[in-house]
Amino acid sequence: MTLTKDHIRDALSTVMLPTGEDPVSSGAVLNIAVCDEHASVRISMTKDAATPQPPRETLSKLGAVMDAAIRANAKEQGVHDLALIIDFVDHSGQVIMKLKGDPAGSVKPTQTKEQIPGAPTPPQNSAANGVPGVKSIIAVGAGKGGVGKSTIAVNLAIGLARKGYSVGILDGDIYGPSLPTMLGLQAIDQVVIDGALQPFLVHDVKAITMGKLVETDKPLIWRGPMAHGAFHQLIERTQWGELDYLIIDLPPGTGDVPLTLAQSVQLAGAVVVCTPQQVAQDDAVRAVNMFKSLGVEVLGVVENMSYFIGDPDDKGQTKEYDIFGRGGAQQMAQKLGLPFLGAIPINMPLRKNSDAGTPTKNFDPATAGGEQLPAALTSMTDQLIAQATLASMHRGQTKPTLTIS
């Protein structure tokens, strides 16, 4: 059997809070994530700043009761070595106590902001696993499908590689993998050596995708745990080697799968892709809030399909069409106080190069329909590098350098 979120929710419903309610019916349970033998739960005991937090001793005892209830239910499902994390958060989502339980039933709180006066609260995502040899992992997400998220992810990877960085890209869109087409992998077979997936090296980028591990025309009718397990197989069993950047193309939306994937990997930051129209902006805001709730820094917003570049006329002049209303995503980024990484146009060569699996042609004016697309893609890449460097400095991983010539 498999442990699911419903099993954990049922277990939590048997726990009595000091208010006389259970955490499920009272709305205290904000999020539950499960993948194989790993689970995490987020609990908020307060709904606003005016409500005082229960004493730490109360939270610790309550966490131990929750841990025991969840672990007992897990054993009924055949999961005997559950790795469980229970986060108590305040009304704003800041972690005030993190409890880690082990299979022996020992529950220990880790240090938090309240325990170390003046210390910053570490991002929730910092507790996730990194990938050996990979310096920075950047997720590319979107609030909805159809905004060109995979197009941006691929071209960011190509742009970084053209700058001389060692780059990998992971097709985390389990249900709708796009990399086989966009990188031209159709005729290449997946190689496994000593149980390790060997990434494809194409266009100076290392790539791995579920699309090369399943039949092309077979629908992936998977529930959450199956998709989570597949993602972990892709990222943990791939022999990435040394990488400066690993780009992860997340599934669209803010549902269970992208949420859990974002929690599973220690991210350096996230890029949110949006088209200019209002309906896309509404969903993009939800994606931004999802990353923020996970403690993942949003490195910036990309406005994709910002405008359409028509074919040149007899005089070689092209006309631009604001099909979706140019500038909407940029205004959204400004309202949210987020960096704007750039506006990417769409034209016929971009579509052709993407379908043909030749993304490097998007950076050559001769094969990209002129200067506009290559310039926009290069500028977007430069902006991402700058924001990723700033984020790394904020985390204390790098220091600014001064060059005198």
* Choice among 9-23, 68-82, 386-400 with the minimum mean pLDDT: 386-400
Considering the chain, what percentage of its residues have pLDDT values greater than 90? 34
Q: What's the pLDDT tens digit per position in 143-171?
A: 888 899 999 999 999 999 999 999 999 98
Q: Does residue 75 sit in the same domain as residue 178? A: no
Looking at the fold, whether 342 and 382 belong to one and the same domain comes out as yes
User: Which helix (H) or strand (E) is 308 found in, with range?
Assistant: strand 298-309
Total domains, the chain: 2
Average pLDDT over residues 285-300: 87
Q: Which long-range contacts (CB under 8 A, 24 or more apart) does 324-328 make?
A: 324/275, 324/276, 324/277, 324/280, 325/276, 325/277, 326/276, 327/276, 327/303, 328/274, 328/275, 328/276, 328/277, 328/278, 328/280, 328/281, 328/303
* Rounded Cα distance, 212 and 215, in Å: 8
Q: 14: domain range?
A: 5-122
Q: Is residue 197 part of a domain?
A: yes
Residues 65/94, Cβ–Cβ less than 8 Å: no
Put simply, whether the predicted model's pTM sits higher than 0.95 gets the answer no
Longest dimension (CA), the chain: 78
Q: Report the range of poorest mean pLDDT among 59-63, 143-147, 229-233, 284-288.
A: 229-233
Report how far residue 338's alpha carbon sits from residue 331's, in angstroms, rounded to the nearest whole number: 10
> Is residue 128 included in any domain, yes or no?
no
65 and 158 within one domain:
no
3 state DSSP class of 381: helix
Rg over alpha carbons for the chain, rounded to the nearest Å, is 23
Last residue of a domain, one of 79, 101, 122: 122
Q: What is the pLDDT of residues 108-128, one digit of tens each?
A: 555 443 333 333 344 455 556
Residue 263's CATH number = 3.40.50.300
The number of CA neighbours under 13 Å toward the Cβ of 123 is: 22
Please tell me what DSSP assigns to residue 276.
S
What gap in Å lies between CA 389 and CA 75, rounded to an integer? 44
Q: Give the Cα separation of 117 and 361 in Å (integer).
A: 53
Range among 48-62, 225-239, 261-275 rated most confident: 261-275
> Looking at 88-92, 298-302, 312-316, 398-402, which range is the least confident one?
398-402
